[in-house]
């Protein structure tokens, strides 16, 4: 539907009538409010004018904030909800910029979180990329790590993540100021030429996939275990590369046979700032060489605990990838060879740069949940984890579920106690399926739409 200005204003008036009583009640009771928008749940009116975009999400939230402010109510904070870290980062950056432009009296708190992040390593990586990158930029006042696990697990991850931020965003270290090489409000991969890396003719840069580099020590650990059909495999060995390591605080020249440029180890710079500076320096020098990202510039004397190594690597590399910086990545903070390789690929998938396995969007439990999310998620994963490139949403109810699974290919959503609705994209296509049959019916639906492949018998 197309909206004229008068029709648009009339819709705003109706929202005002419905929302104002809640605002007044919060005032009377001395209660705080969170004003949030969901990627995928924007109104037809907002979609018509701004599209299903970060700008649409921000404008939707500001409309409600203006109504609250008109009543003299300021006890609220903002939340931009998306299961896609890249979208979430753009939303909060745009919102922070808009609030700053509106004036000091618009300086409301921001609540950060990657909604429906899922479980296990994948959920932690997605959350670290989205939340950590913003915290390192000084954006955010409260956080939630949304996991499809027992709720106390979320708090431990939050605390661990917060503890890393002062180390990853050390503002006491002076960093030269150069114009950004990227648009912080719109993702675009940094343009580079293609180069060949060496292993099996793998190419890097340009429109190629972002590649995974490992150290010689890691290669020697994992190479004997690699099968020809494996998607998770090293694509270059660090010590074999024709690599230029530089201090991005200074100008430099790049020999014509250089494959990749990276930041020199041992520099007293936060890694995120160092690689942003490298991209800016290359741009200032008129150079377009591909960049190798590292999760750290100094190796710890004692290996990091795996959970801390995961968070640090996800924040550093994920943040830069979401800025469009990086053509290959190297994870060294995780001591285990196989685990560091797997972590590198998982970061690429969570950042939306590669897809080597099924991607899941799964909500945490709440009072509306109509089935056991952890059990059902495990059952769905056991049947579908081999579907490379497919995104499946597992949602406990129909209240927020359909909106928060905005870009999923298929959805499994609680419709009523013991009943499941199945979705293709945002459209419900099967209703009130008995829970005991629903996983197999989901498989049938995936098959109907040509996305099903039989699992490898070795990994099934």
Which tops the pLDDT comparison, 164 or 395? 164
How many domains does the structure of the chain reveal? 3
Note whether 13 and 159 are same-domain residues. Answer: yes
Binned at pLDDT 50, 70 and 90, residue 401 comes out as low
Domain containing 433 equals 359-448
Flag whether 146 is in a domain.
Answer: yes
Note whether 374 and 306 are same-domain residues. Answer: no
| pLDDT for position 400 | 66
Percent of the chain beyond pLDDT 70? 97
| pLDDT for position 407 | 81
Note whether 31 and 153 are same-domain residues. Answer: yes
Flag whether 457 is in a domain.
Answer: no
pLDDT, mean over the chain: 93
Note whether 136 and 213 are same-domain residues. Answer: no
Binned at pLDDT 50, 70 and 90, residue 206 comes out as very high
Binned at pLDDT 50, 70 and 90, residue 415 comes out as confident
* Tens-place pLDDT, residues 352-374: 999 999 999 888 767 667 788 88
Note whether 17 and 155 are same-domain residues. Answer: yes
Q: Could you identify the residue written with the tokens 């989901």? A: 442
- 319/136 Cα distance (integer angstroms): 9
Instruction: Please answer whether residues 247 and 266 qualify as being in contact, where contact means their C-beta atoms are separated by less than 8 angstroms.
Output: no
Note whether 214 and 342 are same-domain residues. Answer: yes
Q: Please, where are the H alpha helices in 270-336?
A: 271-284, 306-322
At 108 the three-state DSSP class reads coil
CA distances from 417 to 75, 230, 365 (A): 36, 40, 14
Examine the fold and report which residue of 332, 350, 368 is the final residue of a domain before the chain moves on. Answer: 350
In terms of pTM, does the model score above 0.75? Answer: yes
Flag whether 333 is in a domain.
Answer: yes
Is the confidence at residue 320, as pLDDT, over 90? yes
Phi then psi dihedrals of residue 159, to 5 deg: -65, -45
- 272/173 Cα distance (integer angstroms): 12
Note whether 308 and 406 are same-domain residues. Answer: no
Residue 369: which CATH number?
3.30.413.10
Is the confidence at residue 307, as pLDDT, over 70? yes
Q: How many C-beta atoms lie closer than 10 Å to residue 77's C-beta?
A: 15
Note whether 336 and 382 are same-domain residues. Answer: no
């Amino acid at each position: 539907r197309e909206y004229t200005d008068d029709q648009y204003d009339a819709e705003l008036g109706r929202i005002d009538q419905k929302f104002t009583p809640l605002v007044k009640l919060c005032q009377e009771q001395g209660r705080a409010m969170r004003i949030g928008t969901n990627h995928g749940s924007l109104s037809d009116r907002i979609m018509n004018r701004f599209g299903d975009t970060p700008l649409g999400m921000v404008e939707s939230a500001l409309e409600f904030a203006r109504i609250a402010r008109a009543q003299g109510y300021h006890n609220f904070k903002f939340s931009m909800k998306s299961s896609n870290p890249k979208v979430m980062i753009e939303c909060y950056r745009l919102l922070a910029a808009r609030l700053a432009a509106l004036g000091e009296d618009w300086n409301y708190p921001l609540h950060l979180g990657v909604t429906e992040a899922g479980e296990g390593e994948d959920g932690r990586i997605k959350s670290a990329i989205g939340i950590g990158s913003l915290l390192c930029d000084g954006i955010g006042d409260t956080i939630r790590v949304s996991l499809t696990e027992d709720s106390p697990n979320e708090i431990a991850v939050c605390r661990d993540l917060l503890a890393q931020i002062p180390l990853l965003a050390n503002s006491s270290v002076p960093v030269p100021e150069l114009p950004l090489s990227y648009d912080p409000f719109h993702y675009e991969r940094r343009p580079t030429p293609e180069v060949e890396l060496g292993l099996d003719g793998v190419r890097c840069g340009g429109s190629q996939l972002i590649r995974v580099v490992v150290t010689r020590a890691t290669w020697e650990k994992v190479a004997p275990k690699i099968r020809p059909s494996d998607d998770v495999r090293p694509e270059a060995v660090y010590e074999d590369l024709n690599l230029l390591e530089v201090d991005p605080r200074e100008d430099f020249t790049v020999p014509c046979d250089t494959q990749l440029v990276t930041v020199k180890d041992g520099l007293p710079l936060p890694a995120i700032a160092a690689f942003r500076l490298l991209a800016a320096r290359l741009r200032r020098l008129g150079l377009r060489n591909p960049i190798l990202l590292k999760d750290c510039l100094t190796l710890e004397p004692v290996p990091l605990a795996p959970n801390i190594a995961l968070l640090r690597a996800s924040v550093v590399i994920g943040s830069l990838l979401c800025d469009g910086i990086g053509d290959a990545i190297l994870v060294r903070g995780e001591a285990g060879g196989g685990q560091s390789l797997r972590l590198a690929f998982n970061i690429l998938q969570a950042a939306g740069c590669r897809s080597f396995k099924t991607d899941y969007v799964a909500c945490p439990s709440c009072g509306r949940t109509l089935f056991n999310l952890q059990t059902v998620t495990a059952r769905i994963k056991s049947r579908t984890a081999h579907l490379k490139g497919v995104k499946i949403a597992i949602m406990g109810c129909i209240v927020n579920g359909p909106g928060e699974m905005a870009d999923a290919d298929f959805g499994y959503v609680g419709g009523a106690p013991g009943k499941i609705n199945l979705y293709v994209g945002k459209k419900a296509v099967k209703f009130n399926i008995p829970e005991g049959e629903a996983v197999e019916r989901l498989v049938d639906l995936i098959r109907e739409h040509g996305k099903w492949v039989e699992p490898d018998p070795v990994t099934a």
